Chains A and B, each alone.
Chain A
């Protein structure tokens, strides 16, 4: 379509692809509008007569609402109206709950009804002519609370005397279950040592996308149609939650977005706010516009799960072979469970991590606490579990004085064992972990690490090296939800794409996804180009998402590391259908010997035996769309408008054994981290860092590498700076970017990357999803700190979050952490 500006620095603009556009770093289609500030993010969408909305939020972590009076707010000039919990309870049904009892009994509405359960819980919403007036009006809403006792410690949430958040459930337990595979008892018998770790804690943080949530919601009274311009990243889930709540059909909820400023899972659970906006739009008969402010996001929307692993037992042979593990896991999902019960199962996609241990027992429970509700933050549930496996192997090596590299290689699943069935029936598709570990170590100069250690010592610093291995399991089998709740009617997965030749032959692609920077328009166009024999400039991919494009299904959205498999699978399917139709049409028009006699190349459908006999796509489109008289009946189904639903090959898992393949692909990242710790202050610096990834075939290596950079930064932020810390009253202490420090440019270490491609045998393109990453930054920093402290007290790192003050504590008092670990000789 357009030509590029002529600079000598433009990346390779290949005209006639030898090997195709897939695999090349083509310029991103999204960039032109984004670098010019012409992106359309949700707050950029404008309507006349809009009501700006501000949510009134609870200042208490747990309280009964005894009275709400909006009259003063409504009296303010310029205020259009308000909405309170009582109205919501009358007009909507509580959101569908994923769990079984007691979690299923939770009543979750768009606004707090009767009581508030976390600081920031929305109690009312006001709409006004300007943003400032809405904020002023919110201050005039009078809410009377009776504070209740607060629960902030997940390990105390099930105590006899713990305050219960959801009376209907009668307990703070959302779900519990036991997972048992192999024979842990036998593993204990066989072991030469048992390493026992009393407690490992994965801390609460989130990826905090720079664009907060928001929406502009319109309601058409004549048709009962809501249009939500919203940056929700999983509309499939949102409409399933919202439709029944609003007592409306799902098609009445049209989701539209163009550009989304990061999601990382934090834009999945915004359905409560969206329902409130739908009600307001209908009640006030005007569009309503909500912008979430940063503090609102931190206090009320989507933290990553906090998880505690207790009473960990690891039977090990003397040579370092790990035979299995047993533990209790307590997952803290915050005040409302929403999507989170799935997290009770989702970690099982990567039960053994990267290792070959076969005997596993976990008693898993998820509890509510008076903290912000959690959402599926980047790495969701697998990251917590993989951190656990990495801490385990690191601590085992540390305590048994085994080499951390050798013990990993001994225990890693080997390349030749792939595809590898894990103890619970997941099938790891491909990978070469040991080779990638060597690559990562090479990048940080592991061979000369002793010299680096001595050099650091001479400057008064403690040097440490840490390895972080992780997996990024992608393309969920939603059948795993039935392991959570056998009555759920979800399984498999899907994504949709439509590809058409438009009226005059323009190639138009419509996706079902909601990209937030992953470059879907670009990557889709590479694939389409290769199949249709054109260039990416010839392929117009519609930007963003719109339910009205009818190019979506129940699982549509952008989440959980799957676009390269599901989204591209749909694009491939649709494009191949289109290619087939073009060939059939051209064969008839050009008198070729059947569709196989036609090739698609250079923008034409032409006869293989006579390339001069060629139809440009423009002609194909025009014939079918505007000039179809006289076409033979056999071409009646040639519409040149092809919609395809990609469906991965899944079965519903065995609910009894909790056994079966839960994800289709397993990308891998292995990180190596070098830190220098100031033993006096606990302040540490990452002086070298390497990340090696393997996500199978890479359609756009530069985009893949960008995801690795970003995932690393998120991991390092969580390791060093980021925590959602609460005091005992349930007050969030890090409620904005002032106190919740995220990595800035000067905080990032020198970052080296490398990659291999182990194609997945299970996907049509050999690709694997890879966006989330798996949190290896956290795993490697923990290991590096523990290594550095070897000669200064030999503390054990048992927490995922290690700011300077925690490192200082470990230096000052290593014994407290050491007391958590015991090695038993058998």
Chain B
């Protein structure tokens, strides 16, 4: 095995297998947005602090701007587009809307994926656990007040 500057990768994204030739230097977030055309995942910074790019890789919330696409070869990736099948909103998406947990909507996809990761692992989170779960997701519009409320409501099934 020798190092290569580009390689063919196969990722399962939102249940569909995608195979592409990709440069080793290409970030996963650019692969998702530019190569696969899934523009729901966003970019808000260049130091891995804002979390707008959060997706689930093999079930774990990660920042897709801090992963190379080649590192995700063989992995299962879920983006915000996977949350609503056939136009039915996921309870988290509905809760975000009900509780006005989004204004400009730019942080929302990443926020939803972090929230999904939380609720997948913790069905009854406390407020502090909710805040810890979205600590890696910056929002500049809402002050997080309604986001925390929405996640709590979704957890309660309301």
Contact = CB atoms under 8 A, between A and B. Distances in A.
Interface of A: 5, 7-11, 25, 27-28, 30-41, 43-44, 46, 131-132, 207-212, 259-262, 264, 291, 293-295, 516-519, 702-703, 705-707, 709-710, 712-714, 736-738, 742-746, 748, 751
Interface in B29-68: 30, 33-34, 37-47, 49-50, 52
B145 A714 contact: no
5 contacts: A7-B91, A31-B97, A32-B89, A210-B138, A713-B142
Nearest to A33: B105
Q: Which of B95, B102, B137 has the most CB of A within 10 A?
A: B102
Contact of B42 (A41, A264, A736): A41
B100 A706 contact: yes
A132 B26 contact: yes
A41 B107 CA distance: 12
Q: Which of A31, A32, A37, A259 has the most CB of B within 10 A?
A: A37
Given A262-B103, A737-B49, 19 more contacts: A9-B153, A11-B98, A34-B102, A35-B84, A36-B80, A38-B40, A39-B106, A209-B104, A210-B107, A261-B107, A264-B140, A294-B45, A294-B46, A518-B103, A702-B100, A706-B142, A745-B148, A746-B132, A748-B143
A262 B100 contact: no
A35 B108 contact: yes
Contacts of B45: 294, 736-737
A125 B85 CA distance: 42
B17 interface: no
A39 B105 contact: yes
A203 B153 CA distance: 39
B126 interface: no
B138 A744 contact: yes
Interface in B130-146: 130-132, 134-146
Nearest to B114: A745
Interface string B72-111: 0000000111011000110101111110101111111100
Contact of A5 (B38, B79, B89): B89
A745 B136 CA distance: 8
Q: Which of B42, B100, B138, B141 has the most CB of A within 10 A?
A: B141
7 tightest Cβ-Cβ pairs between the two chains A and B: A37-B40, A261-B106, A34-B105, A517-B104, A517-B103, A713-B143, A709-B143
Nearest to A737: B49
B155 interface: no
Contacts of B95: 9
Contacts of A46: 37
B152 interface: no
A166 to B, nearest CB: 31
Given A736-B47, A744-B135, A703 B100 contact: yes
A131 B27 CA distance: 11
B7 interface: no
A737 B44 CA distance: 10
A37 B79 CA distance: 9
Nearest to A744: B135
B145 A31 contact: no
Contact of A31 (B96, B144, B153): B96
B70 interface: no
A746 B49 CA distance: 14
B100 A261 contact: no
A714 B130 CA distance: 21
Contacts of B39: 37, 40-41, 43-44
A745 B40 contact: no
B112 interface: yes
Given A131-B30, A713-B144, A746 B104 contact: no
A517 B148 contact: no
B141 A706 contact: yes
A746 B141 CA distance: 16
Contacts of A262: 103-104, 106, 140-141
Interface residues of B, number: 64
B147 interface: yes
Given A44-B39, A517-B104, A35 B143 contact: no
B94 A36 contact: no
B30 A261 contact: no
B104 A709 contact: no
B140 A714 contact: yes
Contact of A210 (B25, B93, B134, B140): B140
Q: Which of B43, B104, B109, B146 has the most CB of A within 10 A?
A: B104
Contacts of A264: 140
Contact of B103 (A36, A295, A706): A706
Contact of B81 (A28, A37, A291): A37
A211 to B, nearest CB: 5
B26 to A, nearest CB: 7
B41 to A, nearest CB: 7
B143 A738 contact: no
Contact of B84 (A36, A44, A517, A702): A36
A27 B104 contact: no
A294 B40 contact: no
B42 A748 contact: no
Nearest to B113: A37
B44 A210 contact: yes
Contact of A710 (B33, B37, B47, B103): B103
Given A34-B105, A36-B81, A742-B140, A28 B43 contact: no
A9 B37 CA distance: 33
B143 A712 contact: yes
B158 interface: yes
B109 A37 contact: yes
A764 to B, nearest CB: 25
Given A706-B141, A737-B50, A744-B135, A31 B106 contact: no
Nearest to A701: B100
B23 A132 contact: yes
B46 A295 contact: yes
Nearest to A46: B37
Contact of B105 (A11, A295, A517): A517
Contact of B49 (A8, A516, A738, A743): A738
A293 B132 CA distance: 27
Nearest to B49: A737
A288 to B, nearest CB: 16
B65 to A, nearest CB: 11
Nearest to A753: B145
Contact of A36 (B93, B136, B143, B144): B93
A744 B81 CA distance: 25
A516 B102 CA distance: 11
Contacts of A259: 104-106
A294 B47 contact: yes
Contacts of B41: 37
B146 A706 contact: yes
Contact of B44 (A33, A132, A211, A751): A211
B43 A43 contact: yes
Contacts of B153: 9
A93 B25 CA distance: 40
A745 B131 contact: yes
A41 B100 contact: no
B49 to A, nearest CB: 4
Contacts of B91: 7
Given A27-B97, A517-B103, A702-B100, A745 B135 contact: yes
A264 B102 CA distance: 16
A573 to B, nearest CB: 26
Given A37-B80, A737-B49, A746 B140 contact: no
B42 A261 contact: yes
B89 A36 contact: yes
A650 B89 CA distance: 47
A41 B147 contact: no
B47 A737 contact: yes
A744 to B, nearest CB: 5
A36 B83 contact: yes
A35 B138 contact: no
Nearest to A714: B140
Given A5-B88, A28-B97, A736-B45, A745 B137 contact: yes
